Chain A
Amino acid sequence: MGDPMPLWGMLLLPIGLLLLGYGGAAWSAILTARAAGSPVSLAAATPARETARLLVEQRRTIPGADTLLWRLGGATVPVAAVLAVLVLPVADRAAADLSIGVVWFNAMEVLIWVAVWTVGWGANSAWGLVGAYRFLIQGLAYALPHMFALTTAALGAGSLRVSDIAQAQENLWFAALMPVAFGVYLLSAMAMAYWGPFDPAVARDLAGGAAAELTGVDRLVFRSGRYLMLTAAAAMAVPLFLGGGAGPLLPGWAWTVLKTAAVLALLVWLGHRLPTVRVDRFTEIGWVVLIPATLLQALVVAIVVLVV
């Protein structure tokens, strides 16, 4: 739908993603400082200072490592995040408004599985490999509910095109029509960015898990990729469940940015507010609770679509 996005918009998209991602990182640093009682005024610059630190830090080489896969995996994370938002409509225009946009987003976001697994595997470290396996297990637990949540949104609009889904919410946001699907989407948004309660793959108890051996630029790319992915997932929640760019007074793009920032802030806050969910226990929740719940939600929405 609509005209294709102009070239400057395509350039602006990753930059906007990066800015919002930095905002998320700064908000995270502020929350950390508040909890620790450290000076909050210093916290907003923490991600920048950490970036400076990682830029001058030495890159490691490890004997017996699969260096190619290790470095490639880390670079995949930000690339997957940028590719995922190509179908995001900003002001009714997406960089590539594919007729199967939802499937595209899902496919790009699953690339994170490859990325985290190869980063954990490549470093030749037990911590890394355990972290990598944790992420795959978590992936198996959240992937199906996540897909059903996406399917439910597509079902509500009768289209797999993301801009169609956004337009179908003129009267009622899908977050209100399908709250279970929205909740599961937020949950899987954190899981796909291995963020917050779903961070066992890179958790403290594994000394950083999949990321345990990363230093310097490699760590910078992996960590910023994580914030980009979290931002991308938050941004996709806007057209899928929160009415897209619809809103009073402000132009559409501003509403998209505002809503994305709000979802991102919520996700970051949740990550700080909750302890890590243990994978071995979450798997049963995913299969026994979330899959039936999302299927029922899809059934209800299907009936609503047929009747109304």
Chain B
Amino acid sequence: MDVTAWLLRRIRPRPFVVTALGGTGVRLAVEDELRRRAWQPAPTPVAADMLVVCGPYDTELAQALDRVWEQMPRPRVRVLLDAQDDVARSLNEGGAALASSTEGSSQAPPLADSAHPAPDPSSSHGGDSGRSHEDSGAADASAHSEEHGTHDRSEGASSETADDEGGGDQHADHEHGGHGDHSGHDMHGGGMEMPGGLPMAERAADRDGLTLDRLHVELGPVLADWPAGLRLSLALQGDVVQDAAVSVVGAAPTDTARFWTAPGLGGRELGGPSVEAAAALDSLQRLLAVAGWPDAGATGRRLRDDLLRHGAREAWRARCRRWIRRVRRSRLLRWSTDGLGFVAPDAPEVLRGDVTARWKRRLDTIEAAVAQESAAPRPTDAGAAAQSALDLLPSLLNGQELAAVRLIVASLDPDLEALPADGAEVGHG
């Protein structure tokens, strides 16, 4: 197909960037590179054609990634990157593989270079792969499989949710983890087959005294603008959270310390306030993206990259001041985040207050670096802050709707790389 090849040569890849615990440094390098190439990161893997995984290999994350990979439409390419890889070269190869890929053939999707052992998706799929294969085969005989054992049909559910095989003997749909109690649905004919072979939602009382369907949705670890390694298991009624549980996916290898406190940030010489500011910029750009202000978020990313590369130069400071003023003066942003996720004053200082208070505090940190105040205003124990954020999350999220959930998580932004290595205790609410 000449037209297809001609079009393929003209596409600009749309990468979906996933960060594993311990992959912050790689993610920053990737985002910097994407920005200069004007490759716009996709908000969901379904909208992407390139899956970029930053950071060390982790079995649990790999399982989630395989599910996401199955859902990505072809042509597609997977790029695995770890600290020692050449980001620009790997992205080039990924883009080239995409441009030369032949859609619809039985060829395997090209797997771009990776320095560490790339897990074979079919082997890391575990016992689940056979079953999911069967399901899709029954539903659509024309689904042609490829040699990786993945198949054309998506798993049907949302791209972000990574189900933890909670579905028992039936292949659980990503969103309907549990088996339904259908006895109450008087209109259901008995013995009818499940739609698409998927289990129904179960039911439970809601806060207004009605009995409503309950969905189990997993947020993370493969989700855009989301803290690396965080997984949130939600029971939803409509878009309101009834129950939330937190877990950590993967563990940062012990030899790589938390990126933001690592000595010299990969050899770059930056003062303490500048590193704090860069970390705050990184947190804020995620929050702004979640708050539906991607432009301000993108500017935040650019300021972060410039700061990490060149330090706090005069031009940077002028630009940063303008950006801070714009964000701080946004009444609409304040109005959307006021009163959300209030944390009592006995928590670590970075977490206190509502969402607005937390993003304003991050702006203060950046402003201090812009003004070059030498005294770092608040030395914080990132590990303790992350731990108490994890403990607080379930109680903060109960009764909130999804938009508020995303804002609260983005404002707490627990840096799970900073957690003590002996395993995090996770809360349940």
Contacts and interface: CB of A to CB of B under 8 A. Distances in A.
Interface stretch (B37-45, B243-251, B384-392, B411-419): B37-45
B82 interface: no
Interface in B1-39: 4, 7-8, 10-12, 14, 35-38
B7 A200 contact: no
B156 interface: yes
Given A62-B153, A275-B332, A33 B295 contact: no
Please classify the interface of chain A as helix (H, G, I), strand (E, B), loop, or mixed, using the class held by over half of its residues.
helix
B196 A273 contact: no
B332 A64 contact: no
Could you say which interface size class chain A belongs to? 35 or more
Nearest to A197: B332
Nearest to A219: B47
Interface in A17-42: 31-33, 35-39, 42
Nearest to A130: B239
B139 interface: yes
Contacts of A206: 402-403
Nearest to B333: A275
Nearest to B340: A278
A287 interface: no
A207 B136 contact: no
B46 A278 contact: no
Given A213-B46, A274-B293, A38 B158 contact: no
Contact of B406 (A133, A205, A212): A205
Interface in B55-86: 71, 73-75
A281 B294 contact: no
Contacts of B332: 197, 274-275, 277
Interface stretch (A105-113, A121-129, A291-299): A121-129
Contacts of B198: 63-64, 124
Contact of B46 (A53, A133, A214, A277): A214
B11 A49 contact: yes
A233 interface: no
A134 B153 CA distance: 28
A212 B159 CA distance: 8
B288 A52 contact: no
A208 interface: yes
Interface string B159-187: 11100000000000101000000000000
Given A36-B298, A276-B336, A126 B46 contact: no
A50 interface: yes
B196 A124 contact: yes
A65 B156 contact: yes
Contact of A212 (B35, B38, B158): B158
Given A63-B197, A275-B293, A215 B47 contact: yes
Given A49-B12, A126-B217, A276-B336, A205 B292 contact: yes
The 7 A-B residue pairs whose C-beta atoms are closest, nearest first, are A276-B292, A64-B196, A275-B293, A63-B196, A36-B298, A35-B295, A38-B38
Interface of A: 31-33, 35-39, 42-43, 46, 49-50, 52-53, 55-65, 124-128, 130, 133-134, 197, 199-200, 203-208, 212-216, 219, 272-281
Interface of B: 4, 7-8, 10-12, 14, 35-38, 40, 43-44, 46-47, 49, 71, 73-75, 103-104, 135-136, 139-140, 152-161, 173, 175, 195-198, 215, 217, 223-225, 236, 238-239, 288-296, 298-299, 301-302, 330, 332-333, 335-336, 401-404, 406-407
17 contacts: A33-B38, A36-B298, A37-B35, A38-B37, A49-B10, A52-B7, A58-B74, A61-B140, A63-B135, A63-B153, A130-B238, A212-B44, A212-B159, A213-B46, A214-B46, A275-B336, A281-B335
